[in-house]
Amino acid sequence: MLRPDIVAAGRLTIDLHKLVRNYEALGARVAPARLAAVVKANAYGLGATAVAEALETAGCRTFFVAHLSEALSLRRGLADHSEVFVLNGLAPGSEALCAEMGCIPVLNSLEQVSSWNDLGLALGQTLPAAIQLDSGMVRLGLSEEDTRQVAAAPEALAGIDLRLVMSHLACADNPAAEANHRQRRRFDEMANLLPPAPRSLSNSASALGPPAPHGDLVRAGIALYGGAALRDTPNPMQPVVRLEAAIIQVRTVPDGAGVGYGLMYTTKGVRRLATVSVGYADGWPRRLGGRGAVFVGGVRAPIVGQVSMDSMTIDVTAAPETALRPGAPVELIGEHQSLEQVAADAGAIGYEILALLGPRYTRIYCEARPRDAVTGAKS
Ligand SMILES: *Cc1c(COP(=O)(O)O)cnc(C)c1O
């Protein structure tokens, strides 16, 4: 049988036990608000099905994705009583499929409210939905005028079971920003125009920041996955992700040798260089060429020259020779190098590094329950 971890670009280990610990810690912090999991973009690259199933087992009942296609693939694996909300809303023409499959749209515009309402009335049902209000981010949601229009029309919500009224903060990662207070006030004023429904405004950063009213439901993504939600603050979450690749080839290179595309790097003195099985097609940022590093045998190995599509070259002169055989593991994210360090080197954010984690990695899940803490490969 093929060993997926030695035939793939790399091995992405996802610790579901730590994921659940993060869920529980954050849940305790935001109580009595309920904690929902944002599992869009394949649960930030970690694997939406495995992540959602582990969180559902831990008691999570509400999930958010961006697109209906994501909701459809998630829906099958979850219990009927779990809710899957579609943040980007109702694409024109998708209404019947969304209703039939039991997915819940976040209605972001008057058109979406009215087409969902019309479908509910035509079916003689009230169809579940969230309504998003634009409290000041200018991304998605009803304006204040739209909200007044909905509130004033008696039939506008007659076919809708309003499960949630929500908005999103533009500056939650900076709790000191005045914009947060403005958005909170505006959200309350706008939500007060609508019929009573549970409210949701907070994401990971709000959940971890100074105490703030969370309403009824907090929508957390990055903190569950161990990423840093707040700027310039120690990250209290447990790391969930470990990313390793393999050495393909090692060579000793003389002084003055050009390395990689464009020969952008030239060796100074005799160097030991290794080629590693990950490149930008795996979501490993091209910008790390010449600035980032990986760890080999616990020793920092700088990335030299340009990152290629399927490989990159690292300087392993300082690494122990025993760690340098072909097939030996190289740590990209793990105990020596945090997600945030990689993001900083790449001029990116942790969210971006996770969301780009490519399909060529073998995803290995450490099981959530400690009793059977064996690793089993699923892909
Ligand atoms: C992505 C997203 C979230 C989750 O944000 P985190 O910062 O990852 O916790 C919450 N709400 C909305 C509307 C989102 O788009």
- Whether 268 is catalytic is no
Q: Ligand 1 site: residues with CB under 6 angstroms?
A: 38, 40, 87, 168, 203-205, 219-223, 229
Mutation probe of ligand 1 site: the residue of 85, 87, 169, 180 with most atoms within 8 A of C-beta: 87
What pLDDT does residue 203 have?
97
Q: Helix crossing, 178-191 with 144-152: angle to 10°?
A: 10
Nearest atom in ligand 1 to 351's CA = 8
Task: State the distance from the centre of ligand 1 to the C-alpha of 17, rounded, in angstroms.
Answer: 22
Report the C-alpha gap between 364 and 379 in whole angstroms: 7
- Whether 225 is catalytic is no
pTM attached to this predicted model: 0.94
40, 44, 265, 361: which one is catalytic?
Answer: 40
What pLDDT does residue 372 have?
45
Mutation probe of ligand 1 site: the residue of 64, 65, 202, 237 with most atoms within 8 A of C-beta: 64
The protein residue whose alpha carbon is closest to atom 15 in ligand 1 is: 87
| pLDDT digit string, tens, across residues 320-329 | 999 999 999 9
What pLDDT does residue 3 have?
57
By the 8 A CB rule, do 314 and 303 touch?
yes
User: For the chain, how big is the Rg over CA atoms in Å?
Assistant: 24
Q: Which residues of 308-336 are buried (b: 16+ CB within 10 A; e: fewer)?
A: bebbbbbbbbebeeebbeeebbbbbbbee
Q: Which residues of the chain carry a pLDDT beneath 70?
A: 1-6, 370-379
Regarding beta strands 160-166 and 299-304, do their DSSP bridges make them parallel or antiparallel, or are they unpaired? unpaired
| pLDDT digit string, tens, across residues 267-325 | 999 999 999 999 999 999 999 999 999 999 999 999 999 999 999 999 999 999 999 99
Nearest atom in ligand 1 to 173's CA = 7
What pLDDT does residue 115 have?
98
The type of residue at 250 is V
